[in-house]
Structure 1
Amino acid sequence: MHQPRLIMFAPAPVLRMGNRLRLDVKFVEGVAQHCEAWPGPVSCVLREGCGDIPFGAEYALDALPFDLRILGRHEPVALGHVEGADVILADADDTNLLSLVPLARQAGAKIAYVIEYTLQTRMQILMLDRQRSPLRKLRGAAWLLHQERRRRRAMHQADALQCNGYPAAESYGRLNGNAMTYMDGRLTPEVLATPADIKARQQHLRSGAPLRLIHSGRLEPMKGAQDLLPVMRELARLGVTAELDIYGSGSEAPAIAAGLAEFDGRVRLHPPVDFRNTLTRLNRESADLFLSCHRQSDPSCTYIEAMGGGLAVVGYANAMWRRMAELSQAGLHAPLGSVAGLAGRIATLDKDRETLIEMGDKALGFASARLFQDEFRRRMQHLRELVPATG
């Protein structure tokens, strides 16, 4: 019986270390899961070009549970890279992979694209780049528009499309008659908030104790990290007693650290922590509300992962959180860039803590229905249906 081959073009980093490779640990674990779920051999294609892999490990090529091929930094994808494939899975965010459809046709393979960023998000990232002059931003915008035409054509011609998050689905889902939407995240049953966690948080909130806010992620301008302290400043002006723990690192970290003194210990900056062993516990046990200043409309997994800890979310009304908040009823949103709006929403929930408790319950329910295993299972079934003979 024929075993269909899946070839994945992944955006993961890779470094050659003599006769060994340095790879991202989560990438290796993720492909191993694909190997378990796919009814045939799995191959992966990566491209050289990264500087470092913070959460990486060294592997011997022959010890990996999948075939791996490495392209040079500027090596074009060719027919030889897809020959033997039954299904090709590729990242439509990578402009180097937007010419794969003709190669897939030549190889007799089906091709599915995964898409995460929308044109709006790419433009937001470009305009928030402090290193680019106005002229360079104009040129960058023209380049993005050209690549967007290529991207839309490729997704339209593909055999399937997987949209990561609501913005991608709304922007691109209608381009392909075989499109699905999924929520990316790392939630598993054992990291969800327990009844004991929920009870303890409810007791804290009903006691009238200061509201405990938490934020985690990259501390970069495009992530809105520069708004964290202004939100706390505005809350103080509104008479709201609240605390904020920030977990992360990035270019905004020095400015945040320099501004902590004015808050008399109510705002604390911590280095990044491990998601599974530490961050999920902090979300469950040490916070009442997740504060997001994220301006981009990308499908940040931070929302769903915070909600898995039973946390309501207050954030900017980017396309992702606005839609997720409407569907989940698990938080509030404020106009993009409105620090006063965010603080006002938090102040409202501080006064109405029963509503905050109810939102936390809805957050947990929403996240529990979108665990990693369930979303991954749906994605793999979608791919298997491209090869009907495999069932």
Structure 2
Amino acid sequence: MIYPSKPNELILLPVLKAHRGPGGGLVLTQKYLDGAAEYAKHWDGEVTTLAEVSPTASSDMDHVEVHLDQNLRTRVEERPKALADLVQRITGAGAVVGFLDPSQAELTRQCFSRGIPVIHVCEYTLKTEFQIIDATRANFLRKLRRKIWIWNAERTRRELLGFVAGLQCNGVPIHDAYRPNRPDAFVFFDNRVRRSDVASDDDLARKAEVLRSAKPLRLIFGGRFVPMKGVLHLPRVARGLVDRGINFQFRIYGSGPEEARLVDAIRRNGVEDWVTIHQPMDFLSGWVPLLKREADLFVSCHPQGDPSSTYSEVMSCGVPIVGFANEAFMGIASHACSGFVRPLGDTESMAEQIAVLDRNREMLIESAYRGRNFAREHCFEKTFKRRAHHFAEAAKSWRRSRTR
């Protein structure tokens, strides 16, 4: 039997799918569970995740199996498969948090008609979705079909804006895109770095000392080795630095389907003595300390405007970013007054910018402080507190407007 929501229950409908674990529980990622738990600190009521269950596990590395009888800050339940059952389960909820997507269209409309406030989260602009498609290796007709589908999906998303109690936008570009339709849209910058892990003044002072010692510039990249992350541009940037006589080390962290091509590109560009590939590290115990200690500049060749948490997380660790002019990086760089933006796809311009920074290292030091200060105001705890408060205020305002 499916029971309605408890009074003022916050229902989360994540895009992330769960799978069944060996103990019979639902498996989600630690990153997701940490976020849900943070909402629970600031929501006056229970917080429950209704997760779709996939027959296969995701490729994430931080899987955690949870059970209904565990003493967690939040509950995790299997999402009812039938729409009618799902609507029954969320009836009476204080608020429902979903994702702005055509697959949620009928649910969103039914919630509107039943007086259930829905706050949708959104990330990609139409431009970015087209860029992601262009970054793939699909043929022209397949890309065209996908773009037509995305174009129609965007029309549906904009129609849904009139049925929601609130909208949360991950990053500046999507906020700018929907603000004319939803002036009350809330913008946030995704960030997994907690306040206690943000680079301190002492951390930045030590890095500044290394930069001023004229040691080789320590470049770094971390992310999935997939076309949308632009990893195959990195060896060409390194080649440009070698040709300019720059003394540097470039460490690339990650894994994925493009790894063999990346290795080959490093060899073809003759930069094996400067560029090394490393396996992904645990985020909190490995990646964050590494960035704070051993990185001077993050090189981002993302050819599209995915609002990656990488930008704010790298800034949190006191590492400035040089990156392609995708709309997400331009947005956060403008807000943070930190970072160095180069034309999309122009690896020679990227190499020239790094060469300029190598000769003018005080620019790196200043950018590191500016980025750290911005990211500290958008750390994990502050971001989720603001988002939870927005859920509550949006639901309250929407209910008031319905009773006028």
Contact 1:82 1:103 (8 Å CA) reproduced:
no
Q: Following the alignment from structure 2 to structure 1, what is the Cα–Cα distance between the partners of residues 157 and 119?
A: 13
2:390 equivalent in structure 1: 382
Give 2:129's aligned residue. 122
| CA deviation string 1:181-217 (max 9, x = no partner) | 1111112122122233222221221111111101111
Question: Helix, strand or coil for the counterpart of 1:294?
Answer: coil
SS where residue 178 of structure 1 aligns? Answer: coil
| 1:290 counterpart residue number | 298
* Farther-moved stretch of structure 1 (13-22 vs 255-264): 255-264
Q: Which residue of 1 aligns with 2:3?
A: none
Structure 2 residues not aligned, in runs of 5+: 1-5, 400-404
Helix, strand or coil at the partner of 1:98: helix
1:331·1:359 contact (CA, 8 Å) conserved in 2? yes
1:119-198 pair list within 5 angstroms: 119-130=126-137, 132-198=138-204
Letter in 1 for 2:257: S
- The counterpart of 1:208, out of the listed 214, 219, 223, is 214
Q: Distance in 2 between matches of 1:368 and 1:382?
A: 20
Q: Closer, same or farther in 2 for the Cα pair 1:370/1:67, shift >3 Å?
A: closer
State the one-letter code of the partner of 1:41: E
Partner residue, 1:227: 233
The letter of the residue matching 1:230 is: R
Structure 1, 203-212 or 313-322: larger mean CA deviation: 203-212
Show structure 1 runs of 5+ residues with no match. Answer: none
Matches within 5 A, 1:263-302: 263-302=271-310
CA drift of 1:286 comes to: 0.4
Q: Give the share of equivalent positions with the same residue, in percent.
A: 32
The 5 A counterparts of 1:1-391 are 3-17=7-21, 19-49=24-54, 51-53=56-58, 54-63=61-70, 65-71=73-79, 76=83, 78-92=86-100, 94-130=101-137, 132-260=138-266, 262-388=270-396
User: In 2, are the aligned partners of 1:159 and 1:178 still within 8 Å (CA)?
Assistant: no
Q: CA deviation at 1:383?
A: 1.2
> Aligned AA for 1:193?
A
In the alignment, is the contact (CA less than 8 A) between 1:95 and 1:147 conserved in 2? yes
Deviation >6 Å, runs of 4+? none
Looking at structure 2, the residues matched to 14 and 104 of structure 1 have their Cα atoms a distance apart, in angstroms, of 24
Deviations 1:51-83 (A, max 9, x none): 3233212222332544434247x7547522422
Look up the equivalent residue of 1:56 and give its one-letter code.
Answer: H
Q: What is the distance in 1 between the residues matched to 2:196 and 2:133?
A: 38
- Aligned partners of 2:74 and 2:127: how far apart in 1? 36
**Corresponding residue SS for 2:199:** coil
Q: Distance in 1 between matches of 2:74 and 2:213?
A: 54
Q: Is the 8 A contact 1:317 1:334 kept in 2?
A: yes
Please tell me the root mean square deviation across aligned C-alpha atoms, in Å: 2.1
Corresponding residue SS for 1:263: coil
**Counterpart amino acid of residue 17 in structure 2:** P
2:402 match: none
- The whole-number CA distance in structure 2 between the counterparts of 1:21 and 1:8 is 15
Give, in angstroms, the shift of residue 230 of structure 1: 0.6
TM-score, normalisation: structure 2: 0.90
Shift of 1:105: 2.4
Letter in 2 for 1:152: R
CA shift, 1:162, in A, is: 0.7
8 Å Cα contact 2:7-2:45 kept in structure 1: yes
TM-score by length of 1: 0.92
For the structure 1 residues 289 and 153, does the alpha-carbon distance in structure 2 shift closer, same or farther, using more than 3 Å as the test? same
Shift of 1:369: 1.5
| Matches of 1:106 and 1:66, distance apart in 2 | 28
Task: Provide the aligned length of Structure 1 versus Structure 2.
Answer: 386
CA gap 1:50/1:165 in 2 versus in 1, 3 angstroms:
farther
Higher relative contact order (CA 8 A, sep 6+): 2
